[in-house]
């Protein structure tokens, strides 16, 4: 059959089909899909079982002394330290096992000192942090009580015994209560009067000027390399020399010898010795130093 004849035969078949069904059937309208169920936003994640009240109480006291000054009273950071509620390390933690290495070893390059705490103490702190809700700003915000609950007279005695060898309320801290009017800021700054990043900054407002942390590296040849500490870990130390040149030096155990000169070390050494009462008493005293 020729091509023209094939077309004619096809046309006849189409015409016949149209004659039998002049109006093509209209497909039935699709039934609208059911609207998806409204998703309920979780109140917190991850879901954790209720902690032992005694562990919470111990953790809250330890957190107030050792962690509050950087990570904030609600663990959201903003005082030099990161937000713990959104930290993947904290979210992955169950009872302090991932937090412990950071607490016990510190992070010198980020301004975090190491704390000689036991695993039991860190577990209590972890229980306290995990008790915070993180599902949303409104439900998770824990508004702290006023921190001005100490005794100013006792605070003056604590100041003389713990701070008086380096500071004076008639000298470098004269009028400090008038210069820093927010009690929380004042408290955080006498606990750790400067928390900064690499190469000495940026730092939050401080009670007095705090010079940057410096480092001396003694190479196997005997050469000494000195400068402002940028970062340090088990494998490398980075510093900036006085000429502005940045150097990174590999580390292998105790080689080369590294000496860190931290002007805040006395404050870091004091941190584990403070009681919660002493912190509040000191705060109550310092706000009166006008």
CATH number for the domain that contains residue 203 = 1.10.760
CB count within 10 Å of CB 30 equals: 6
pLDDT at 269 over 80: yes
Bond prior to 256 in cis (omega within 30° of 0): yes
Mean pLDDT of the chain, nearest integer:
78
Identify whether 19 is part of a domain: no
Q: Find the Cα–Cα–Cα–Cα dihedral 22, 23, 24, 26, rounded to 10°.
A: -170
Tokens of 9: 């035969």
65 in Cβ contact with 275 (< 8 Å): yes
Identify whether 129 is part of a domain: yes
Note whether 119 and 177 are same-domain residues.
no
Identify whether 6 is part of a domain: no
Note whether 199 and 222 are same-domain residues.
no
Where residue 113 sits, what CATH number does that domain have?
A: 1.10.760.10
CB count within 10 Å of CB 138 equals: 7
Note whether 100 and 133 are same-domain residues.
yes
Mean per-residue pLDDT, 20-47: 51
Tokens of 105: 């070893």
Domain range enclosing 219: 214-261
Specify the pLDDT at position 244.
Answer: 94
CA dist 76 and 206 (Å) reads: 20
Nearest-CA neighbor of 267 among 192, 168, 164? 192
pLDDT level of residue 203 (50, 70, 90 thresholds): very low
Identify whether 11 is part of a domain: no
Note whether 105 and 80 are same-domain residues.
yes
Identify whether 240 is part of a domain: yes
CA dist 127 and 53 (Å) reads: 10
| Residue where the block lists tokens 């301004």 | 111
Q: Render pLDDT for 110-121 as a digit per residue (tens, 0 to 9).
A: 778 888 899 999
Q: Render pLDDT for 99-108 as a digit per residue (tens, 0 to 9).
A: 999 999 888 7
CA dist 185 and 2 (Å) reads: 97
Identify whether 165 is part of a domain: yes
User: What's the domain count of the chain?
Assistant: 3
CA dist 36 and 41 (Å) reads: 14
Note whether 194 and 282 are same-domain residues.
yes
Identify whether 8 is part of a domain: no
276 vs 21: which has the higher pLDDT: 276
CA dist 194 and 70 (Å) reads: 10
Where residue 230 sits, what CATH number does that domain have?
A: 2.30.30
CA dist 23 and 143 (Å) reads: 72
Identify whether 27 is part of a domain: no
């Amino acid at each position: 059959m020729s091509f023209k004849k094939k077309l004619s035969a096809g046309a006849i078949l189409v015409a016949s089909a149209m004659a039998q069904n002049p109006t093509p059937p209209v497909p039935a309208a699709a039934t609208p899909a059911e609207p998806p169920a409204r998703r309920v936003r979780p109140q917190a994640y991850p879901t954790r079982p209720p902690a032992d009240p005694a562990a919470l109480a111990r953790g809250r006291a330890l957190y107030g002394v050792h962690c509050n000054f950087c990570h904030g009273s609600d663990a959201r950071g903003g005082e030099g330290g990161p937000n713990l509620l959104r930290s993947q390390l904290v979210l992955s933690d169950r009872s302090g096992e991932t937090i412990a290495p950071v607490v016990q070893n510190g992070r010198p390059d980020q301004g975090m000192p190491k704390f000689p705490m036991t695993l039991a103490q860190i577990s209590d702190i972890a229980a306290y942090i995990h008790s915070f809700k993180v599902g949303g700003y409104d439900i998770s915000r824990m508004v702290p009580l006023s921190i001005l609950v100490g005794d100013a007279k006792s605070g003056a005695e604590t100041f003389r015994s713990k701070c008086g060898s380096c500071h004076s309320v008639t000298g470098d801290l004269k009028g400090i209560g008038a210069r820093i009017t927010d009690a929380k800021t004042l408290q955080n700054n006498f606990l750790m009067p400067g928390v900064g990043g690499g190469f000495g900054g940026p730092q939050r407002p401080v009670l007095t000027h705090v010079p940057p942390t410096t480092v001396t590296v003694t190479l196997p040849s005997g050469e000494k390399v000195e400068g402002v500490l940028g970062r340090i870990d088990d494998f490398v130390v980075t510093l900036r020399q006085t000429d502005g040149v940045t150097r990174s030096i590999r580390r292998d155990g105790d080689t080369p010898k590294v000496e860190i000169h931290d002007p805040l070390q006395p404050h870091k050494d004091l941190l584990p010795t403070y009681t919660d009462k002493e912190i509040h008493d000191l705060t109550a005293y310092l706000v009166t130093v006008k």
